[in-house]
Amino acid sequence: MNRPAMSLDSAQAVQRAALLGRRTASCLGLALALIGVCAGLLHSPQALAQAAATQASVAPDTFILELSTEVLNSVKSDKATQAGDIVRVMALVDSKVMPHVNFQRMTASAVGRHWRTATPEQQRRLQEEFKVLLVRTYSGALAQVKDQSIALKPLRANPTDNEVVVRTEIKGRGEPIQLDYRLERSGGGWKVYDFNVLGIWLVEQYRSSFAQEISASGIDGLIGKLSERNKGASKA
């Protein structure tokens, strides 16, 4: 079902953001943590090279499961991360998430057709502000990592596919939570370029609101709106 376009300031956007915060923020924050903290365990150039070679030899679902299991154990023992320390989370994303996430593709997909007409500087600013928005939105979710475990669903892909969807469930107290990943084959390994929580793809969640804002005030208007939101969040 097609969702109506909305501006970043509309009542509908506020309602949907609230819904996203209640039902999916913890899972999306966990998704970032699962990818990012595990990368942090491999901090030396030798370890990164070895990890890339190992990653190239495993199936995408095995890659996600191995990362997730190891990272869940790491997050559970990190009190600062669990507390949602924004400085620590920002540092985590800047230094650890990027090797495993194609963030440029995520931003370009969220901006849609307008990405092609944006200048290199505008593209840089969009990526920067979008990253801050996501990290600030979901950083508090890291405190939710307690007794969860990850279960894989059957992989519907061929060994030669360059893009796949890995479907998982986060199991803990209550009903299992759907958490899916879109991955692309990159440099012999895999990179994440979208997340799906409870049937909502992250990129789709923002695309309609971004398009509405760009139509109203252009690329610079969207950058300004994102910057304003991020500055407001930092003061909260």
**Contact assessment for residue 55 and residue 63, using Cβ atoms and an 8 Å cutoff:** yes
Per-residue model confidence (pLDDT) at position 26? 56
Q: Which CATH architecture has domain 11-235?
A: Roll (3.10)
Per-residue model confidence (pLDDT) at position 175? 82
Per-residue model confidence (pLDDT) at position 14? 39
Phi, psi of 161 (to 5 degrees): -65, 140
Q: What single-letter DSSP state applies at residue 166?
A: E
pLDDT by residue for the chain (236 residues), tens digit each? Answer: 554 444 454 444 434 444 444 455 556 666 665 554 443 333 344 444 444 444 556 899 988 887 777 667 666 777 777 776 767 666 666 665 667 789 899 999 999 999 999 999 999 999 999 988 877 765 555 556 667 788 899 999 998 999 999 999 888 777 888 889 999 998 878 998 998 877 889 899 899 999 999 999 999 999 999 999 888 876 66
Each domain of the chain, given as residue ranges in start order, spans 11-235
**Contact assessment for residue 191 and residue 100, using Cβ atoms and an 8 Å cutoff:** yes
Take residue 213 and report the two structure tokens written for it: 């804002």
Take residue 96 and report the two structure tokens written for it: 């650890």
Query: For 140-156, how does the pLDDT look when each residue is reduced to its tens digit (9 = 90+)?
Result: 555 566 677 888 999 99
Per-residue model confidence (pLDDT) at position 157? 92
What are the helix and strand counts (H, E) for the chain?
A: 9, 5
**What residues contact residue 51 under an 8 Å CB cut-off, 6+ apart?**
42
Per-residue model confidence (pLDDT) at position 220? 97
Take residue 188 and report the two structure tokens written for it: 């012999």
